[in-house]
Amino acid sequence: MKIKKQESTELIDLKNFLDYNKKIEVEDNTFQKLMFIYEMAIKELNTKIEIMQKEFKVFYDYDLIDHTNNRIKKPESIIQKMKKKECKLTYKGMIENINDIAGIRVICPLKKDIFSIRNLLQNLPGIETIKEKDYVTNPKESGYSAYHIILGVPVMLSQKVIYVKVEVQIRTMAMDFWSSLEHKMKYKPEEKPNKKTSKEWITCAKMINKIDNRMMLLNE
> Count of H helices and E strands in the chain?
6, 6
pLDDT value of position 198: 79
**Which residues are registered as beta bridge partners of 114?**
none
Rg (CA), the chain: 19
pLDDT value of position 118: 98
Considering the chain, what is the average pLDDT of its residues? 85
Strands (E), 57-205: 67-72, 102-108, 128-134, 147-156, 161-172
- Cα 51 from Cα 47, distance rounded (Å): 6
pLDDT value of position 1: 56
- Domains belonging to the chain, first-starting first, are 2-219 (3.30.460.10)
- Spans of the chain, pLDDT less than 50: 2-27
